[in-house]
Amino acid sequence: MNTGTNMSPEAARYVIGIDVGTGSARAGLFDLSGRMLAVAKRDISLFKEAGSIVEQSSSEIWNAVCSIVREVVTSSGVNAGDVIGLGFDATCSLVVLGEGGQSLPVGPSEDANRDIIVWMDHRAVDQAERINAQGHDVLRYVGGRISPEMETPKILWLKENRPQIFRAAWQFFDLADFLTWKSTGDLARSTCTVTCKWTYLAHEQRWDPGYFRGIGLDELVDEAFARIGTDIVEPGTPLGEGLTTAAAEAMGLKPGTAVAAGMIDAHAGGIGTVGIGGRPEKNLAYVFGTSSCTMTSTSDPVFVPGVWGPYYSAMVPGMWLNEGGQSAAGAAIDQLLFFHPASADAASKASEMRIPLPVLIADAAAMRTDNNSDVVRLAEGLHVVPEFLGNRAPFADPHARATVVGLGMERDFESLVALYVAGLCGIGYGLRQIIETQAGAGADVEQVVISGGAGQHDLVRQLLADASGKPVVATVAEEPVLLGSAILGAVAGGAFGDANQAMMALTKVDKVYQPAEGVVAGIHAKRYAAFKTLQACAREIRAL
């Protein structure tokens, strides 16, 4: 076991990290060297309706979580009594429960099981715009503009469109906080969730009553914020008395097993990566999944227009966090490929090979050049700004949409590969734009540390390094997000004194992808200029 731990090797055994993403729940069981011994996954349903409505079921998610925890314990062969802690991460989705934890229907389906407004749900665009028009001081800590993906616009939408549900709600939870409550009965909220998505001022340890009254949520103030959280603790803090008897029985674990205050999924990826080298402030955590998230840590607050934060102690304890990224990243590539005439045949082939379509195409692209940096040449004349679901950063513009320039009449697989490469370049240029914007405000980074399912291919990592102009670092951990959650569980279980200690002990470099130089760097510089020109052109057209 690592030297900095507080428990004897005999007492400290294993920890479990649980990650609830947009489409699935996963659990990983780790030893205290950071080695993952078992992993399990269950798909979870996503319900979509007209009007940008996207919902989920908290009961389905809870059942999936219990099932995968049982599976990883069984498949690893570990004794359940040797699991010392659990950590949860989840998407920043809003869970709405009535008295006694009863599910409430959050949308027009009137299905009570659909009690979650998913992070990507954009029903509250109007509410977000009205909130932003007020210019309240708390907005300084979300990059100047609140997003419809955040929780207070969604709660305001419920009040205005489903007032009976708003009144009946006993608790409004971020999904990670729902999971820790369900596990322990403790209503404490994580600093990560409420600071990043609810406007909690962690550096002042308070909610701002003036903000909530100003936007029309007086009830939350009058109730002393009892429905959104009065006990706010740092991620990794042990909650309640650990697992309740009911939760332990459902998971196949020992009652009282430590449960850590959780995190947003992307931030768990940050915890599982930025500790390399012991210098979190030099590492930009980049989670490339369905969406993308950039997380930058600084010693002092840095205000970056269009980039969320600065948030105090929301990821690395004691440091400030700036958070960017895009609402659609892996999902944007999927959408882009779907439009191409050759995608159906390629998807069928990928299905036969039991690999995702983007992996099939990335493999094909890599075979067409001598090295992965040269694949950019395959997309000559083809440019993509993949903002299908708006621009989260640095423009905080939910109305932005994708732009594709340079399409011809080709319908073959080669042109599908070219479109894929152009789309990946667009993802990389968006990353570069965020890095440059933050550097201009005083939050510079030396390298990008990658995690997430869409960023596992060597070609993807190299192309992101080339497009962003920064080295891309891959860590040893197969599942950095799960490791991040497990780190929280290890801290709650007493294996490490704090998250900083655990991060440095358990995160290790696997491979570094250096950005291209010379001619290829020049190609990317020109393409990046085209990317910014297309963004500006799209805004001008929209203004007309």
> What tokens does 467 get?
């497009």
Is it the case that residue 11 has pLDDT exceeding 80?
A: no
What 526-530 contacts at long range (C-beta under 8 Å, 24+ apart), as own/partner pairs, is: 527/376, 527/383, 527/425, 527/429, 527/467, 528/429, 528/432, 528/467, 530/383, 530/405
According to the model, what pLDDT value does residue 50 have?
A: 85
E strand intervals along 236-347: 258-259, 263-264, 283-288, 292-298, 308-312, 320-326
pLDDT in tens, 312-332: 999 998 999 999 999 899 999
Range 186-194 average pLDDT: 97
Six token digits for residue 420 = 């894929």
Interatomic CA distance for residues 28 and 33, integer angstroms = 14
In sequence order, the 6+-apart residues with CB closer than 8 A to the CB of 85 are 15, 16, 238, 257, 258, 259, 260, 488, 489, 490, 491, 492, 493, 494, 495
Is the predicted pLDDT of residue 351 greater than 80, yes or no?
A: yes
Residue 160 confidence (pLDDT) above 90: yes
Q: What is the pLDDT of residue 36?
A: 96
Mean pLDDT score, 435-446: 96
Residue 403 has pLDDT above 90, yes or no: yes
Question: Exposed, middle or buried, 251 (CB in 10 Å: 0-12/13-18/19+)?
Answer: buried
Over range 11-36, report the average pLDDT.
92
Give 452-455's long-range contacts (Cβ < 8 A, gap of 24+): 452/269, 452/286, 452/287, 452/288, 452/289, 452/292, 452/330, 452/481, 453/288, 453/289, 453/330, 454/288, 454/289, 454/290, 454/329, 454/330, 454/333, 454/358, 455/286, 455/287, 455/288, 455/289
3-state secondary structure of 314: coil
Strand (E) or helix (H) holding 59: helix 58-76
Average pLDDT, integer, range 404-432 = 97
Q: How confident is the model at residue 253 (pLDDT cuts 50, 70, 90)?
A: very high
Quickly list DSSP for 169-194.
Answer: -SEEEEHHHHHHHHHH----EEHHHH
In 3-state terms, what secondary structure has residue 294? strand
pLDDT at 8 over 90: no
Q: Are 471 and 515 in contact (CB under 8 A)?
A: yes
Q: What's the mean pLDDT in 209-215?
A: 98
Please give the pLDDT value at position 143.
Answer: 84
Concatenated DSSP letters of 405-434? E---S--SHHHHHHHHHHHHHHHHHHHHHH
Q: Specify the pLDDT at position 337.
A: 97
pLDDT-based confidence at residue 9 (cuts at 50, 70, 90): very low
pLDDT score of 51: 79
Confidence of residue 541 (pLDDT cuts 50, 70, 90): very high
Give the tens place of pLDDT for each residue, 191-200: 999 999 999 9
Which tens digits make up the pLDDT trace of 33-92? 999 999 999 999 999 998 789 999 999 999 999 999 999 999 999 999 999 999 999 999
- The upper half-sphere exposure of residue 339, i.e. CA atoms within 13 Å in the direction of its Cβ, equals 17
Band (pLDDT 50/70/90 cuts) for residue 6 is: very low
Got the DSSP string for 355-387? Answer: S-HHHHHHHHHHHTSSSGGGGGGGGTT-EEE--
With a cut of 70, say whether residue 184 has pLDDT above it.
Answer: yes
Backbone torsion region of residue 6, taken as left when φ is above 0, otherwise alpha when ψ lies between -120 and 50, otherwise beta? alpha
**Domains of the chain (ranges plus CATH)?**
14-264 (3.30.420.40), 269-325+435-513 (3.30.420.40), 330-429+517-543 (1.20.58.2240)
pLDDT at 3 over 60: no
Mean pLDDT over 215-221 rounds to 98
> Which of 30-44, 268-282, 376-390 is least confident?
268-282
For residue 2, pLDDT over 60 is answered with: no
Tokens of 86: 């659990």
**pLDDT band at residue 15 using 50, 70 and 90 as cut-offs:** very high
- As a whole-number percent, the residues of the chain with pLDDT over 70 amount to 98
Better-scored residue on pLDDT, 208 or 505: 208
Average pLDDT taken over every residue of the chain? 94
Q: Provide the pLDDT for residue 320.
A: 96
Closest-CA residue to 41 (of 15, 14, 21, 13): 21
Percent of the chain with pLDDT over 90: 91
Rounded distance between C-alpha atoms, residue 500 and residue 175, angstroms: 24
